[in-house]
Amino acid sequence: MKMPRKPPMSSLMPCATATAFLLAAAASAADYPTTILGDQPSAYYRFEETSGTTAFDSSTNGVNATITYNSVSTSPVLGEPGIDTNSFDFLGGSDYGYVDIPESRLITPLAADGTNSAPFSAELWVRPTSYPANWSVPILQGVNNGTIVDGWNVYVSGPGAGNPAGQSYFYLDMRPGVFNGYADFLISFGAWYHLVLTFDGTNGVFYINSVAHPFTVGAGGFVPDTTQDALIGSGSSIGWLPFNGGVDEVAFYTNVLTASQVATHYTVGTNSFRVVPTGAGIVTSPTPQTNYSGLPVTFTVTASGTLPLTYMWLSNSIPVDPNASSFTFTAQYPQNNNANIEVIVTNAYGPPATSSVAALTVLTNLNIASPPGSIARNVGSYAAFHVTADGAVPITYAWSQSTDGGYTFTPIPGATNQTYWLSNVQTNQSGNQYAVLVSNPFTSSNPPAGTLTVQPRTDPPVPLNGYGAIVAADRPVAYWRLDETNGTLAEDAVGTFDGAYSPGSGTITYGATTGIPHSTDPAVILANGATIQIPFAPELNPDTAWSAEVWFQPSSLGAGGGDYRVILSSEYNNFSGSPWNGWYIYQQPSDTIAFVPQPGNGFIVAGPDDPANGNLLVAGKWYHLVVTDDLTDFNVYINGELRSGFPVSGIPFIPDGAGINNDGSPGITAGLGQTVIGERTDGAFNTFEGTVDDVAFYNYALTSQQVLSHALDAVQLSIARAGTNVVLTWPVGVLQKSTNAAGPYTDVSGTVTSPKTNAIGTRTIFWRVRVP
């Protein structure tokens, strides 16, 4: 299943809470169907039917649609209140009904070339009634199955779409080039919304309640579908959820509606709803839930009836908060185990409606998905042992070490995280075993220990002078200088994590000119699908703070539409519907950078500080890019400046390899979780075209000063007074001094290391650092 592409995270923040249209009893000042027919729709479905299997086309073209009911003929519900007079109500769920509109040039008009889209408009009224798990689809025309990507649809988004908690809004997907979310209209469930899409072949507008949201599609950026029927209430052909809510007055046009026409339709429609006061009813009762102790559970009811509705939830017949259609709380064992959950819904127009009872099962299990594995690491490298567990929480970890072949294990003070880190490993540690006791409040587990093998480096040493010395001084876990002149080895200069140059059907050019200031070390050019593949390692995917760094020079910009080019990724996707793990960095069609953590799929977008070029990427220009995760914020730096950030808590993130598949197996499989320079790990979208250099990963968040030093290829020398002395500190290099600011400078004699203390005298002394 292909995930929808998300828009920039900055566009997801609501700039205003839109006032959704609520049912009103105002008298109709104009006739809605007459207004629509006066604008000559090519097909028009009023949804006035109260029975049968045909939704009639009210235009003169007779493109009648088929009403397909669910297996028990309960969805869609016909004859519900709507605009002059009725509407259809779709109940979603796994057993759903929908309306099938036959594929036709009256629905999908084509240009004279028979391939590209001619101008068209599509219009409907929708009333979402519940928060979808991820993406529900009120209308679609097209396919998105990973092989065929065409047509368009509208989404109603839910928490699985990466939205901020409790927020839902509409998205427009015109494949492959447009995927826009509209957070200026937060959806109020039970309210009607007027949606209109217009497209003139290049430019489009998506209207919500007459408010225009214009967009542009470049050449080839929208591919019309000429085989798929249009579906109302079903997401089947794009792999997402059926719609839960009302739909009315669906119209198609082979021309572009004007803003004035759209406004008229909205105004007339809002004054044309049939208001029939109805008592509260239960459409969908809460379903039984099972979860681990200490984790949240949610019960949801879908109710009908004239607003406002009041909800009273009961647990074992005892009233509990909230007054809402969903009830979320933290399940605890034993007090919530076998609890019976129900809800009573009331309004002013009839007797209360009580849902069926849903049982809660609270589990106490502790599951070890992946024990610490044995690893071999080079002398001087980092080494990390990781255990993946889930179950009832809180889960605690206690690591121990054996130096006698596993005969005895000694607890390691402070080693209480999922990952146990070793730095600068040496041969005298080879053969040591590392075990972890994993516990929750109900049980414990001792998975098999992992053994560390420390081996001498066999690759030729990589020079770490100049810029390399500055980076190495900041203790990267892995550092690929990309200085090779031939072959397949992309050597890790500081660790164990060598990569492989993989030209595929493209080309790799060694010895390219770098863009790092003051540096002459070469770079590599990746073209036409060439990549650098690095095997999965837990050290490259910390579950604590981390940073990733790369220099890149795009040789060209995106061609618009879906031309997302991947600079760097470390991602796991087993293509089975299990949650994605990891992250990737796009060079976007909008000529910006997007860092995308998974499984939240939130886009954190940044551009360079370059006003002369609209703060956009420029082909042929070098950029220094750093992403940091300090466990509070994701930060994106470009050329030494912090250009974007977003709270870690706002985007669900699981490091590559640290997840658990739906079947309980570890979220890592050989060949599916590697780190890749120049491509998304799962091969989706496009490869990077251009030059890359000096890629480094860290198991902590670089500071802004460290990032700036790397971007400038410079060392910061700090001087602080301490009584009658000054203390000089620097990360790397040779300390020099002079009695003149302009020099000459000479190396300080003797063995000098940072920090250096120097007595304050009567002469002025100037200091600097020389990096060999």
Taking CA atoms, 216 is separated from 391, 578, 589, 707, 751, in Å, by 47, 34, 12, 36, 64
What's the rounded Cα separation, in Å, for the pair 370 and 367?
9
Residue 136's identity, in one-letter code, is S
Locate tokens 């959704």: which residue?
20
Q: Rounded mean pLDDT of 175-191?
A: 86
Residue 282 pLDDT = 92
- Pair of tokens at residue 162: 């990466």
Over 90: is that where the pLDDT of 178 sits? no
Which among 323, 333, 122, 140 is positioned nearest to 238, based on CA atoms? Answer: 140
Write down the number of H helices and E strands in the chain. Answer: 4, 60
CB burial of 373-389 (b: ≥16 within 10 Å; e: otherwise) equals: eebebbeebbbbbbbbb
What's the rounded Cα separation, in Å, for the pair 708 and 150?
43
Which among 616, 631, 626 is positioned nearest to 557, based on CA atoms? Answer: 616
**Integer Rg of the chain from CA:** 31
Which among 447, 532, 442, 434 is positioned nearest to 482, based on CA atoms? Answer: 532
SS3 category, 311: strand
Which among 574, 674, 663, 659 is positioned nearest to 370, based on CA atoms? Answer: 659
Domain limits of the chain? Answer: 26-270, 281-363, 366-455, 471-712, 718-770
Which among 263, 121, 86 is positioned nearest to 203, based on CA atoms? Answer: 121
Q: How many CA atoms lie within 13 A of 566 on its CB side?
A: 24
Q: Rounded mean pLDDT of 598-618?
A: 91
> How do beta strands 241-242 and 135-144 pair?
parallel
Residue 21 has what DSSP assignment? B
Over 80: is that where the pLDDT of 561 sits? no
Residue 165 pLDDT = 63
Paired residues of 627 in beta bridges: 548, 636
- Pair of tokens at residue 426: 């040496």
- Pair of tokens at residue 101: 């509109």
pLDDT band at 584 (very low <50, low <70, confident <90, very high): very high
Over 90: is that where the pLDDT of 597 sits? yes
Give, rounded to a whole angstrom, the gap between the first and last alpha carbons of the chain. 51
- Is there a cis peptide before residue 176, judged by omega within 30 degrees of 0? yes
Residue 224 pLDDT = 93
pLDDT band at 12 (very low <50, low <70, confident <90, very high): very low
What's the rounded Cα separation, in Å, for the pair 624 and 552?
7
Q: Is it true that 281-363 and 366-455 share their CATH fold?
A: yes
Over 50: is that where the pLDDT of 26 sits? no
**CB-CB contact of 5 with 179 (8 Å):** yes
- Pair of tokens at residue 227: 């085989």
- Pair of tokens at residue 313: 């939830």
Fold classification of 26-270 is Jelly Rolls (2.60.120)
Which among 609, 614, 595 is positioned nearest to 641, based on CA atoms? Answer: 609
Residues in the chain: 772
Q: Rounded mean pLDDT of 330-334?
A: 97
Residue 663 pLDDT = 67
CB burial of 183-216 (b: ≥16 within 10 Å; e: otherwise) equals: bbbbbbbbbbbbbbbbbeeeebbbbbbbeebeee
Locate tokens 């005969």: which residue?
407
Over 90: is that where the pLDDT of 39 sits? yes
Nearest 10 degrees: CA dihedral of 195, 199, 203, 206? 0
Entry pTM: 0.71
Paired residues of 599 in beta bridges: 653
Q: How many CA atoms lie within 13 A of 564 on its CB side?
A: 26
> How do beta strands 241-242 and 244-253 pair?
unpaired
Q: Rounded to 5, what percent of the chain is helix, strand, coil?
A: 5, 40, 50
Q: What are phi and psi of 427, to 5 degrees?
A: -65, -25
Q: What are phi and psi of 539, to 5 degrees?
A: -65, -25
Of all residues in the chain, the percent with pLDDT exceeding 70 is 93
Residue 590 pLDDT = 83
What's the rounded Cα separation, in Å, for the pair 766 and 717?
11
Residue 256 has what DSSP assignment? P
pLDDT in tens, 257-274: 999 999 999 999 999 988
Q: What does the DSSP assignment read for 635-646?
A: EEEETTEEEEEE
How high is the mean pLDDT of the chain?
90
Q: Please give the angle made by the CA atoms of 392, 398 and 401, to the nearest 5 degrees.
A: 145
Residue 16 pLDDT = 30
pLDDT band at 529 (very low <50, low <70, confident <90, very high): very high
pLDDT in tens, 441-499: 999 999 999 999 999 998 888 999 999 999 999 999 999 999 999 999 999 999 999 99
Which among 58, 147, 61, 65 is positioned nearest to 98, based on CA atoms? Answer: 65
pLDDT band at 15 (very low <50, low <70, confident <90, very high): very low
Residue 20 pLDDT = 33
Paired residues of 212 in beta bridges: 207
Q: What are phi and psi of 583, to 5 degrees?
A: -160, 165
Residue 575 pLDDT = 64
What class does CATH assign to 471-712?
mainly beta
Over 60: is that where the pLDDT of 543 sits? yes
Higher pLDDT, 669 or 482: 482
pLDDT in tens, 357-387: 999 999 999 999 999 999 999 999 999 999 9
What's the rounded Cα separation, in Å, for the pair 227 and 8?
32
CATH number for the region 281-363 comes to 2.60.40.10
Fold classification of 366-455 is Immunoglobulin-like (2.60.40)
Residue 108 has what DSSP assignment? S
pLDDT in tens, 196-220: 999 998 899 999 999 999 988 754 5
Which among 76, 65, 78 is positioned nearest to 107, based on CA atoms? Answer: 65
Chain CA centroid to CA 705, Å: 28
Locate tokens 């990096």: which residue?
771
What's the rounded Cα separation, in Å, for the pair 554 and 552?
6
Over 70: is that where the pLDDT of 689 sits? yes
SS3 category, 221: coil
Over 60: is that where the pLDDT of 645 sits? yes
